[in-house]
Each structure stands twice: as C-alpha cells, then as structure tokens.
C-alpha cells in the first residue's frame, strides 16, 4: 500500500480513503506531529530558560533562514513532487518517475550554487544587523541537510510512506535536540550561542542522512545526464513557481520571522518566533491532512472523477477547519498560560498569538485551492497570489510595526493570509472549473441532493 508503482491492470481497483480512514490517518499523523511538537515545545522552553532572549531570537531567525534557504536550494521540486509523482505512479510511468528524480537533483545542484553566491553578496553588501547576519550564517550551515530532508520527505509522501515522510523531521530531529538540552539542564550548564548552532546543524545532518538511507535508491537517478525523458526543461518553470507557493503554503512562519528580524529587535523576534510557531503547529493539522489526501485526489483527477474529488475536498476541509477553530478558542482562553511557560517576558505576545491563530483559520477555510491549481498544472498562476501575499505582508509590516510593534506584525499576517486565500479561490474556479475551499465544498456537496 505504501509505495510501489501502480501497474496499469490494477488502476481500476485503487481505493480512495474513506472518511473514517482519513480521520484515523489524520489522528495518527497529527498525533505524531504533536508528539514531536511537544518535544520541540519543551526544547524551546529550555532554550528560552538557558539562553538570553536576544540569543533565542537569533536561534529562531537562524532556523527560519535555514527553512527559506533550503527551499530555494531545492528549486521548488519537493512541492511539485507531491502532485506530479502521484500522477506518474497512477499512470504506471516508471521511466517518467526516474526522469523526474533526475530533474530534481540536476536543478537542485545548480540552484544551491546560485543561492550560496547570493548569500555571500548579502553578507558582504546588505545593510542588515549583526544578529541577522549571524542567523543567516546559521541557516546556511543547516540548509543542505534541510534541503535533503525536503526532497526525501516529499518523495516518501508521494509513495504513501507517510511515516517515513514525517517521523525523521518531526520526531527524531526535535527528540535529539531535546536530549541535548535536557543533559545541559541536568548538568546546570548554559551552552553558548555558537555551541547551540553547531549542535542543531549536526543533528539535522544526522537525521537527513538516515532518512535518505531508509528511503533507498529509488529517488536517486542513475546519472544527472540527459535520459530518454528530459523533464527538467518541461518542469523547471513550474517548479520555480512552486518556490513562491511553498514559501507561503509551508514556510510562511519562517518568512514572518525573518521579516520581523528586519523591523523588530531580537528580543521581540523571540516573542514573534514563539507565537508564530505555536500557530504554525496548529496549522500543521491543515497541512498534513491535505498532503496525505493528495495521492488519492491526484488519482481521482487523472480519472476525471469529479464526484470523488469533491467528496475528498469536503472531508479534508472539515477536518482542518474544525481543528484550527478549536485551537483559536484555546489560544484566547489560555494564551497567557501557554506563553508564560517560556518565561514571563513572553506573556505579552498573547494577542499576537490569537491573531496568528485567526490567520490560520483563513488558511484552513481556503482549503485545497492551491493544490487544485498545482494538480492541473497552473503553478505559475497561483504564484501570483503568493507574490501579492508576501508584498502585502512586507508592506503592512513596514507601515504597522513602527507604531504597533509585534501586534502590527500579527495584523500584517492576517491581511496577507486573507488576500492569499481569496485570490486562490478565484483562480481555482477560473482555471480548474472548481474550487477547493470549505464554502465551495458545502455547496457542491449539497447540489446532487437538490
């Protein structure tokens, strides 16, 4: 079930996830994520207790920098993998799968060289603070391993190997860091900033290599030279568009943290990083449930089965929106208590945390629109929505943070998320003939009964 190529004679017997199986899978994966998140939460608490708030801000900016740099290094292919490979598997096109992996590695190597050249220029010429420069160095050290994790995780997800897709990055990596911090706490030793950076980098490389070994050679091309199918030229434009899409869809919290590092002092960035990560943790419910339904949704679209695709979209939207709504209520009631665990200085981020949760509600309500556009090959169209969202985020942050500080940053996030969701809904209807948001899901679900 978790991963071979689907032969043509079995395509008619492929089953789709029932609502109950979808819920059980979501509970298992979200439970796994929350287990890792619990370890990550404890790690962040220990980090906040062991390091000065300014250094906590630098560490969080460095982690965000690693996420963005690794996204650029992989040239958008991991996100494309989630939609293209399931289609090839559904069609039984083994040669195309191999050609796809060859394109991934070929363009990743080229993109990595360009990214590090750009980082060198930023370090030398950009008028950024010393703290942000140190965070960029941290991110650059960690980025190659993070890029490998992105490639391996997306390949595992496309083959329905969901545990291998999520366990290494969301369980083992925070678990190893937690062990280190607990040892430091037990020994009453406060590690310096450079030690913390080196430990995080080493752990990330260990996890990345182990995951790649477990995944096997199926994602490694025989060579990077031209093969019978040269997909790099055909897919490069779509993959590049996915960089913007993935940045907004999966790394938005990291973008917010880095933009906050430009407009806010490191102490406020520490509060921002904690609050936005708590909201992103809740938002992971939406992300993971959408990701594990993609293989079935892709197969339904390949067959032209609109009834099944609409049912899948409605079910997954209900799960995601309900979960985020519950998290929003909890943040209103218990926000100060949750933030106070990190230290008394973090309690003042209560209302920014609530606003970040509200922004996740907009994202959950937007549903599968972005995925529908990707599955139908309209990545470049949906990239325009991402450009608008990030431009609005940066512009609103520039206007609001001088007077409102962290709260202004939270308002900027809501404006960007709302605009992104609205534009994607219009684009999905225009280009694919259907919408994947929760409101359209209800209307299309009721239509047959009427």
Q: Where are the domains of the chain?
A: 16-449
Task: Answer yes or no: is pLDDT of 17 > 60.
Answer: no
Q: pLDDT band at residue 112, thresholds of 50, 70 and 90?
A: very high
Q: pLDDT band at residue 331, thresholds of 50, 70 and 90?
A: very high
- In our burial notation (b when 16+ CB lie closer than 10 A, e otherwise), range 230-257 reads ebbeebbebbbbbbbbbbbbbbbbbbbb
Residues written for the chain = 450
Structure tokens at 274: 């904690």
Q: What is the pLDDT of residue 211?
A: 92
Task: Answer yes or no: is pLDDT of 366 > 90.
Answer: no
- The phi-psi region of residue 409 (left if phi > 0; otherwise alpha if psi is between -120 and 50; otherwise beta) is alpha
- Position with higher pLDDT, 11 vs 210: 210
**Separation between Cα atoms, residue 151 and residue 166, nearest integer Å:** 12
pTM: 0.72
Residue 374: which of 255, 244, 251 has the closest Cα? Answer: 244
**Helix boundaries (H) for 250-265:** 252-263
Mean pLDDT confidence for 228-246:
72
Q: What is the pLDDT of residue 379?
A: 66
- Position with higher pLDDT, 260 vs 9: 260
Q: Mean pLDDT across the chain, nearest whole number?
A: 81
Q: What is the pLDDT of residue 38?
A: 78
Q: pLDDT band at residue 26, thresholds of 50, 70 and 90?
A: low
3-class secondary-structure state, position 133: helix
Q: What is the pLDDT of residue 72?
A: 92
148-157, pLDDT tens digit by residue? Answer: 999 988 888 7
Mean pLDDT confidence for 139-155:
92
Q: pLDDT band at residue 378, thresholds of 50, 70 and 90?
A: confident
- What is the residue whose two structure tokens read 């030690």? 195
3-class secondary-structure state, position 14: coil
Q: pLDDT band at residue 344, thresholds of 50, 70 and 90?
A: confident
Q: What is the pLDDT of residue 277?
A: 86
Task: Answer yes or no: is pLDDT of 11 > 50.
Answer: no
37-79, pLDDT tens digit by residue? Answer: 778 878 888 998 888 888 999 999 999 999 999 999 998 888 7
Structure tokens at 209: 């290599």
Task: Answer yes or no: is pLDDT of 158 > 90.
Answer: no
């Amino acid at each position: 079930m978790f991963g071979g190529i689907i032969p043509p004679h079995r395509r008619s017997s492929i089953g789709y996830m029932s609502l109950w199986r979808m819920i059980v899978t979501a509970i298992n994966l979200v439970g796994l994520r929350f287990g890792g998140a619990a370890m990550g939460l404890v790690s962040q608490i220990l980090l906040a207790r062991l390091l000065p708030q300014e250094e906590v801000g630098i560490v969080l900016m460095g982690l965000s920098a690693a996420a963005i740099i690794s996204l650029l290094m992989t040239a958008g292919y991991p996100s494309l993998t989630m939609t293209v490979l399931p289609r090839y598997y559904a069609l039984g096109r083994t040669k195309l799968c191999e050609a796809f992996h060859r394109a991934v590695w070929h363009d990743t190597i080229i993109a990595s060289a360009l990214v590090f050249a750009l980082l060198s220029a930023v370090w030398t010429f950009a008028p950024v603070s010393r703290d942000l420069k140190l965070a960029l160095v941290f991110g650059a050290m960690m980025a190659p391993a993070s890029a490998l994790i992105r490639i391996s995780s997306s390949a595992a997800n496309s083959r329905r190997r969901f545990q291998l897709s999520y366990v290494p990055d969301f369980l083992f990596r925070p678990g190893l860091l937690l062990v280190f911090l607990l040892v430091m706490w037990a020994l009453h030793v406060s590690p310096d900033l450079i030690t913390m950076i080196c430990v995080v980098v080493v752990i990330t490389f260990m996890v990345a290599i182990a995951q790649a070994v477990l995944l096997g050679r199926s994602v490694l091309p025989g060579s990077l030279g031209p093969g019978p199918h040269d997909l790099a030229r055909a897919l490069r434009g779509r993959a590049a568009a996915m960089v913007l899409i993935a940045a907004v869809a999966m790394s938005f919290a990291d973008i917010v943290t880095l933009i906050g590092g430009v407009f806010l002092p490191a102490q406020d960035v520490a509060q921002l990083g904690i609050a936005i990560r708590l909201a992103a943790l809740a938002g992971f419910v939406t992300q993971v449930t959408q990701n594990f339904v993609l293989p079935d949704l892709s197969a339904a679209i390949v067959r032209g089965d609109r009834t099944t695709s609409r049912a899948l979209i409605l079910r997954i939207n209900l799960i995601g929106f309900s979960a985020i709504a519950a998290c929003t209520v909890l943040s209103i009631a218990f926000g100060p208590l949750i933030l106070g665990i990190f230290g008394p200085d973090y309690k003042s981020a209560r209302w920014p945390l609530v606003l970040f949760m509200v922004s996740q509600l907009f994202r959950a309500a937007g549903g599968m629109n972005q995925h529908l556009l990707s599955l139908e090959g309209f990545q470049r169209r949906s990239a325009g929505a991402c450009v608008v969202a990030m431009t609005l985020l940066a512009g609103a942050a520039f206007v609001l943070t001088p007077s409102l500080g962290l709260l202004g940053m939270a308002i900027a996030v809501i404006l960007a998320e709302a605009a992104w969701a609205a534009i994607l809904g219009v684009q999905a209807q225009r280009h694919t003939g259907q919408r994947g948001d929760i409101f359209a899901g209800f209307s299309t679900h009721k239509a047959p009964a009427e």
